[in-house]
């Protein structure tokens, strides 16, 4: 789909909703509830479903995890979806297109959390996905003049959510289906293995041998699926969960940024060019253990000091400016030593053995491999000079995953075109309070994800993938302090609704397309596309 199609659709939407912008501004009650009230209410509600009191924790197959699945399923039903929970606990919602032979846009994120986690990591992508589907359906109803086909709705949001009947929902999707999956486990808290849900859907869970991953009680995933999930043959059941990639047109995931870039630039939304590849090393330094009081300085072969020199060398290597042999900023190279083990670890003993981890990430695989090579050289040189014996173990490698350029471009265009929907969803006061955010939608930066996401697992089978990041306060995540402004939640919902509308609905006939194409288009959006 070309950008122009989105442009005319949104222009027509603007006309259809008949916004009274600038005069006495009244929000459209349906769009307000769907795009703004419901997603923010649902996020708060989901954050109360926890296994622990006073903090948030939902891990694989825990009581709160199962309650959350049921809750999400019921919200999916309100959205007009057919729903089911699969053998590993993924919650599925799908609306089939009214036309045969079309593919589905796959949406997803995860509903498990880390221990003492936040309300937005994972949950945001599910809730925003749901609200965007409902918002798209309502926009299409408005567009067709079909609002009277909705059954009677709760009078206001305190009485209940807007409910769209499945047959009506399906009749609105002429260009493709939509399939939303709330993934059961991404963080891997219980089995120490990430992407459990998305790998099941991608059909790679068995390949990675994840059925034999064990939890802290020593039970394998295979046993747990049998004992707690009532699955007779986990191997067969899991194999059957793989989606056929030919039935999916693209995968789209909305997620909090988990970093500070959007906030520092004052922008609510960004699109993700790719997810960085990663290498994890373990460097072992062996020196000579000795007495802190008796071994003279020049006779020492101190493993800890050699490690310290190496750690700062790694930092220096990865911080070099481009002009001085460093890599360009757009490669997003980051290197971290996060774990050090000192033996014997006493204040009066020269360390005989020190080991440390090195985590190297970059969007560009060749850059990452180059840095790994340089780290190996540095270790060789430094250890030789210091007379200590060193080894480097390459523990883990994951290649970078790049987003699909079309999905990226269309998501950026959708974000920069979301403003009319937001004006229809906000009160005058909210419009004023959000003026900076609304302005910020005209510029959609392209980011790189340093963290892994379900999109990474899905992309292994469905490479046509794209992600949208939402600004979060302080870039903080995996913490109860995680926070996204309600208006930013709504901005991502509106952006995704525009994207889905362009991809799946868009009832415009030739005549209204022609009329709409003459509508003036906000010049800001072409600027946004330049930035993309
Ligand atoms: C370092 O010491 C450990 C423990 O004695 C040993 O297993 C390892 O092989 C040594 N590594 C090197 C590079 O000498
Ligand atoms: Zn996440």
**What's the 286 CA to ligand 1 centre distance in angstroms?**
6
Residue whose CA is at the smallest distance from ligand 1 atom 10: 286
pLDDT attached to residue 74: 98
Residue whose CA is at the smallest distance from ligand 1 atom 2: 286
How far is it, in rounded angstroms, from Cα 255 to Cα 363? 18
For the Cβ of 334 lying below 6 angstroms from any atom of ligand 1, the answer is no
Per-residue pLDDT tens digits for 404-458: 999 999 999 999 999 989 999 999 999 999 999 999 999 999 999 999 999 999 9
**What's the 390 CA to ligand 1 centre distance in angstroms?**
8
pLDDT attached to residue 515: 46
Q: Which atom of ligand 1 is nearest to the CA of 390?
A: 13
Q: Which atom of ligand 1 is nearest to the CA of 391?
A: 13
β-strand partners of 390: 285
Q: Which atom of ligand 1 is nearest to the CA of 286?
A: 1
**What's the 109 CA to ligand 2 centre distance in angstroms?**
7
pLDDT attached to residue 124: 98
- The first and second tokens of residue 407, run together, are 């999905």
- Helix, strand, coil percentages, rounded to 5, for the chain: 45, 20, 40
Same-fold call for 3-275+401-531 versus 277-398? no
Name the closest ligand to CA 451. Answer: 2
Architecture of the CATH domain 3-275+401-531? 3-Layer(aba) Sandwich (3.40)
pLDDT attached to residue 505: 87
For the Cβ of 390 lying below 6 angstroms from any atom of ligand 1, the answer is yes
DSSP string, 268-327: SEEEEEEE-EEEEEEEEEE---EETTTS-GGG---HHHHHHHHHHHHHHHHH--GGGT--
pTM (predicted TM-score): 0.86
- The first and second tokens of residue 225, run together, are 């699926």
Report the residue among 286, 303, 341 best suited for mutation to probe ligand 1: largest number of ligand atoms under 8 A from its CB.
286
For the Cβ of 283 lying below 6 angstroms from any atom of ligand 1, the answer is no
- The first and second tokens of residue 115, run together, are 């221990």
Residue that is written with structure tokens 């923010």 in the block? 40
**What's the 365 CA to ligand 2 centre distance in angstroms?**
23
pLDDT attached to residue 205: 96
Report the residue among 389, 390, 392, 393 best suited for mutation to probe ligand 1: largest number of ligand atoms under 8 A from its CB.
389
- The answer to whether domain 277-398 has CATH 3.30.70.360 is yes
pLDDT attached to residue 457: 95
Q: Which residues of the chain have pLDDT under 70?
A: 1-24, 507-532
DSSP string, 134-176: HHHHHHHHHHHT-GGGSPP--SSTTT------HHHHHHH--S-
Percentage of the residues of the chain whose pLDDT score is greater than 90:
83
The answer to whether the CB of 119 falls within 8 A of the CB of 56 is yes
- The first and second tokens of residue 520, run together, are 């003036």
Name the closest ligand to CA 306. Answer: 1
What are the helix and strand counts (H, E) for the chain?
20, 16
The domain spans of the chain are 3-275+401-531, 277-398
For the Cβ of 167 lying below 6 angstroms from any atom of ligand 1, the answer is no
Residue whose CA is at the smallest distance from ligand 1 atom 14: 389
For the Cβ of 380 lying below 6 angstroms from any atom of ligand 1, the answer is no
């Amino acid at each position: 789909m070309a950008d122009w199609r989105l442009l005319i659709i949104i222009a027509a939407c603007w006309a259809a909703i008949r916004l009274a912008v600038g005069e006495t501004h009244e929000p459209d009650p349906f769009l307000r509830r769907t795009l703004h009230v419901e997603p923010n209410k649902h996020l708060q509600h989901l954050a109360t479903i926890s296994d622990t009191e006073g903090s948030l924790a939902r891990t694989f197959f825990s009581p709160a995890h199962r309650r959350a699945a049921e809750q999400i399923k019921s919200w999916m039903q309100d959205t007009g979806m057919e729903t089911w929970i699969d053998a590993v606990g993924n919650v599925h919602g799908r609306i089939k297109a009214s036309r045969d032979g079309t593919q589905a846009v796959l949406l997803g994120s995860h509903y498990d959390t880390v221990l003492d986690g936040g309300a937005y990591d994972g949950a945001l992508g599910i809730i925003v996905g749901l609200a965007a589907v409902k918002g798209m359906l309502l926009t299409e109803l408005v567009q067709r003049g079909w609002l009277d086909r909705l059954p009677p709705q709760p009078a206001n949001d305190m009485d209940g959510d807007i409910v769209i009947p499945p047959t009506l929902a399906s009749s609105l999707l002429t260009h493709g289906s939509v399939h939303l999956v709330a993934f059961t486990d991404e963080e891997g808290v219980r089995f120490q293995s990430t992407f459990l849900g998305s790998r099941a859907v991608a059909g790679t869970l068995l390949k990675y041998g994840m059925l034999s991953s064990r939890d802290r009680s020593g039970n394998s995933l295979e046993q747990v699926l049998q004992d707690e999930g009532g699955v007779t043959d986990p191997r067969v059941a899991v194999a059957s969960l793989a989606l056929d990639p030919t039935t999916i047109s693209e995968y789209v995931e909305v997620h909090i940024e988990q970093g500070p870039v959007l906030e520092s630039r004052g922008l609510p939304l960004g699109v993700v060019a790719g997810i960085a590849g990663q290498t994890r090393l373990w460097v072992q330094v062996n020196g000579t253990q000795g007495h802190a009081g008796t071994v003279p300085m020049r006779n020492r072969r101190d493993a800890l000091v050699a490690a310290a020199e190496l750690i700062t060398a790694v930092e220096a290597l990865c911080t070099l400016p481009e002009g001085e042999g460093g890599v360009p900023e757009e490669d997003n190279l980051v290197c971290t030593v996060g774990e050090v083990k000192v033996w014997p670890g006493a204040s009066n003993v020269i360390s005989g053995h020190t080991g440390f981890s090195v985590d190297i990430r970059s969007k560009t695989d060749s850059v990452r491999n180059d840095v790994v090579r340089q780290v190996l050289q540095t270790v060789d040189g430094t250890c030789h000079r210091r007379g200590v014996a060193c080894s480097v173990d390459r523990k883990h490698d994951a290649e970078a995953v790049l987003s699909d350029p079309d999905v990226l471009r269309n998501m950026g265009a959708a974000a920069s075109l979301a403003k009319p929907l937001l004006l229809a969803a906000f009160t005058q006061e909210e419009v004023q309070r959000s003026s900076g955010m609304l302005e910020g939608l005209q510029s959609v930066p392209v980011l790189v994800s340093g963290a892994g996401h379900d999109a990474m697992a899905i992309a292994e089978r469905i490479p046509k993938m794209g992600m949208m990041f939402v600004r979060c306060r302080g870039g903080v995540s995996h913490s109860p302090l995680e926070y996204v402004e309600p208006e930013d939640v709504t901005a991502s919902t509106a952006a995704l609704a525009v994207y889905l509308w362009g991809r799946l609905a868009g009832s415009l006939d030739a005549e209204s397309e022609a009329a709409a194409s003459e509508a003036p288009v906000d010049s800001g959006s072409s600027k946004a596309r330049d930035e993309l």
